[in-house]
Amino acid sequence: MGTDWWSDDGRIWRRYVAATTLEGDLVVLFYDVLREGWFLEKLYD
């Protein structure tokens, strides 16, 4: 996803992934291309 309406510098660029942990929890992660890092968006237990 790439957009600019809520970010401070006017740009975001993210890739989202849904995954299941070894404990069985569903998580939604995103990779922020501009900051070059992975972040937890949601945790469903």
Question: Given phi > 0 = left and psi -120 to 50 = alpha, else beta, which region is 24?
Answer: left
| Cα 17 to Cα 14: distance, rounded to the nearest angstrom | 10
pLDDT at 22 over 60: yes
Model pTM score: 0.71
Q: Which amino acid is at 39?
A: F
pLDDT at 5 over 60: no
Question: Which tens digits make up the pLDDT trace of 28-45?
Answer: 999 999 899 999 999 997
| Contacts of 40 by beta carbon, 8 Å cutoff, 6+ apart | 27, 28, 29
| Contacts of 34 by beta carbon, 8 Å cutoff, 6+ apart | 11, 12, 13
